[in-house]
Amino acid sequence: RFEKGRIYTFIGEVVVSMNPYKNLNIYGRDMIEQYKGRELYERPPHLFAIADAAYKAMKRRSKDTCIVISGESGAGKTEASKYIMQYIAAITNPGQRAEVERVKNILLKSNCVLEAFGNAKTNRNDNSSRFGKYMDINFDFKGDPIGGHINNYLLEKSRVIVQQPGERSFHSFYQLLQGGSDQMLRSLHLQKDASAYSYICPGAQIKCSINDGAEFKAVADAMKVIGFKQEEIQTVYKIVATILHLGNLKFSVDGDTPVIENGKVVSIIADLLSTKSDMVEKALLFRTVATGRDVIDKQHTEQEATYGRDAFAKAIYERLFCWIVTHINDVIEVKNYDTTIHGKNTVIGVLDIYGFEIFDNNSFEQFCINYCNEKLQQLFIQLVLKQEQEEYQREGIPWKHIDYFNNQVIVDLVEQQHKGIIAILDDACMNVGKVTDEMFLEALNNKLGKHVHFSSRKLCATDKTLEFDRDFRIKHYAGDVIYSVTGFIDKNKDTLFQDFKRLMYNSSNPVLKMMWPEGKLSITEVTKRPLTAATLFKNSMIALVDNLASKEPYYVRCIKPNDKKSPQLFDEERCRHQVEYLGLLENVRVRRAGFAYRQTYEKFLHRYKMISEFTWPNHDLPSDKDAVKKLIECHGFQHDVAYGKTKIFIRTPRTLFTLEELHAKMLVRIVLFLQKVWRGTLARLRYKRTKAALTILKYYRRYKVKAYIHEVARRFHNVRLMKDYGKHVQWPTPPKVLRRFEEALQTIYHRWRAGELIRSVPPEVLPQLRAKVAAMEVLKGHRADIGLQRVWEGNYIALKPDNPQTTGSFISVANELKRKDKYMNVLFSCHVRKVNRFNKVEDRAIFITDRHLYKMDPMKQYKVMRTIPLYNLIGLSVSNGKDQLVVFHTKDNKDLIVCLFSKEPSNDSRIGELVGVLASHFKRSKRALQVSVTNPVQCSLHGRKCTVSVETKINQSQPDFTKHRSGFILCVPGN
């Protein structure tokens, strides 16, 4: 399977993962979709399957879960944790909520930042975690991540000042030198060559698969995404640069006085730490000691100065790392979460902690790391092997006990109160006077000499692998490890002179000041003895294991195929050894003999009762156990289960998956039923509210209508007695529903008012009034001068002022025509200038009765030249100017083109009157008369189309027609 790239195996809910030492294309979006929402055994073994199982358990059962990733250094734990995080991020937040996306992004980006500052290249692994990390991801009731919290454990800070052969310091140092811009390096007084700095010089030439330059940019971008301000990022790199410069400080003794040989570096350090050079120098060369009330400055020896400087470098790096973790926690912390409003807040924990380590030289850090792995192995044994077997016996399930190695004895060897190695180490550190590492080893020999898992050269004089007064051996679950006691006392005390704390607290950089709050303490202030490094680590491990034990655990057990980081080599002996000490064989045996799932009867019923008619919605059987039996028998699963005293045990996952499928199908029906009932309830409530609203509206409208009518009646109460019949009265604003009614009412009122006004007009004036109204309807807005202000005489030729000489002859002709044509009324008469189709312009007169239009020659005693019956007249055309042009349109297309003129007064406009009397007559006769107002005017002379346009001329004395290629032009006087 390893050779084919199938690197995952299942043992129950434990994934065994082989490090392939190459990139495999099995983590893409398409692979995520294959595992999303699937049960554990539906797809081939994969990290995504365990991540989905943990997520489903958390979402379905509202149970906190955790994924514990364990294995040796270089077995692929950090990569596994990143893929699990990537999977959880990919399957959550289908609604694309911005806040959830922000949290997911920060959780993913935090890996990149923490790896830069907490990981390093070791002989086992190019990207080895040199700190422990446990990340809690908080989810809301929908299953979307809403925040998180990161706990970090024991950063291997000694790596800052010294590394084993073939190893590097933390990535951050090399990334800054390789990725920082020239300008940035200048501001930090750095050069690109790592070998120029004594702290990281040994690792400068070592090849590493990490691309430091590219990673620097990725880390800077990630810090911006997480929410680090620019000045905070700048401070981070100032601290990294400070450590590099600290390593280059050289101490010597001038007489009895210690001095710094390269004083220029001190001013660089002071500049980077935003403090004064003399304060930095004093902190490096002197130690302030309080004796009673007196405070004295004690000079360092060269050795003490070097120790103080190294302790300072380690401390500021550790403080920086813890500050970065705290900053990330502040950003992703769940804020303002109220369980009563938002539902239960559940957690998935992911533990990625340093693996078991055996180096050529194993010191205090390896001791702590291997103790941590013992604790996690103990948890695995407790939950997977010991508790499971004990539970079967407790519940009365037939069970044959399976033996396994319980490493509790090794855990006790390290952490037991008063007797364990940590307790002995703490006692040695608390002794008054000078205590050496050799004295600590002697104490171990005396107190633990008879322990089967502990040995030293003094106890085994013949064992030459152990050095006298230096080494001791612990038989760990993963193999024997020889530890060198050199540095145990110092590293456990973790001493940092108070002078350095005060120096950092007094920095003018607020970020640095915040990292060192204890620097504000006075030198004379007595403080409680701080806990030692080993005790702090032990306490944090006990708290971590308690936290993990409270959650439902899922395991990823990582295995190294070889020690050469080769993708081809499979070292069978090496793998067998890891399988043995990880307890995987016993795990397989317990799984094969045991049950995949167990649950209390009450909780089992609560989840699955809807899939059986005997248990839904509630059962009437004597107990929950009987109800569960009935439910299981209903579906034929009785051969795959066992009934304990308080729990049901299901042997194969397939049965559980079938139950889940039935539950999911039934849930849809229940949800639909609940939706139907609820929608019905909502519809009834909505109907009642709507009905009530409509009733209120009905009465309100009735009130508004009544109020409006009463108001109209009040305002128009005495309208008959008003001079203007209520024209000045303001109408009240109607309600919306009465707007059309108001329009109708106003029409009725205006007709009534018009009727009242007309009744007051003398009968003889009425025809003229009707004609003026008709003229206004047709010409208003089209012609400026209609002549409404003057009296309309109608028969102008019969009037003496207009025609003094020939009035008598016209009257006699008019009387003759009345006798002959039987007309009743004269509508209009006037002198005109006419033009005909032969372009002949003549003075004529028109005489219009209620039956005919006559064209007469005034020069021949008003002889009738042409008679047009009015039924033959279909329309009139006039221009839109002040001229007197009129074209009479006839059915036979023999239009009459004339221009009216009056002798007394000469500028009288009679167009309005002519149009008005004809329009009024045609209206009374219920016939249509088309009146058009245009310039030029279109007409037809014996079927030939032509136009008559009007032009103004200054020197023209009276209107006259002239020929034009498209018809005629009427020239009128300009004044």
Catalytic residues: 73-74, 78, 125, 128-129, 355, 357
- 428: nearest Cα among 420, 88, 790, 853: 420
Q: Are 921 and 850 spatial neighbours (Cβ–Cβ below 8 Å)?
A: yes
Q: How far is CA 152 from CA 135, 232, 321, 352, 486, in A?
A: 9, 21, 9, 10, 26
Q: How many CB atoms lie within 10 A of CB 180?
A: 22
- 845: nearest Cα among 902, 777, 909: 902
Query: Which amino acid type is present at position 54?
Result: A
Half-sphere exposure of 401 (CA within 13 A, CB side): 7
DSSP 342-382: H---EEEEEEE-PPB---SSB-HHHHHHHHHHHHHHHHHII
Q: Are 496 and 484 spatial neighbours (Cβ–Cβ below 8 Å)?
A: no
DSSP 479-542: EEEEEE-TTHHHHHHT---HHHHHHHHT-S-HHHHHH-GGGGS-TT---PPPPPHHHHHHHHHH
Pairing of strands 960-964, 597-600: unpaired
* Residue 457 DSSP one-character state: T
Residues 6+ apart with CB under 8 A from 771: 792, 913, 916, 917, 919, 920
Measured in degrees and rounded to the nearest 5, phi and psi for residue 512 equal: -65, -45
Reduced DSSP (H G I as helix, E B as strand, rest coil) percent helix, strand, coil of the chain, to 5 = 45, 20, 35
Measured in degrees and rounded to the nearest 5, phi and psi for residue 825 equal: -130, 145
- 85: nearest Cα among 349, 447, 400: 349
Q: How many CB atoms lie within 10 A of CB 572?
A: 9
Q: Are 225 and 106 spatial neighbours (Cβ–Cβ below 8 Å)?
A: yes
Q: Are 35 and 90 spatial neighbours (Cβ–Cβ below 8 Å)?
A: no
**Residue appearing with tokens 């009324």:** 825
Residues 6+ apart with CB under 8 A from 98: none
Tell me the C-alpha distance between 215 and 235, whole Å: 19
- 775: nearest Cα among 909, 949, 926, 872: 909
3-class DSSP state of 399: coil
Tell me the C-alpha distance between 120 and 133, whole Å: 15
Tokens of 319: 């403080």
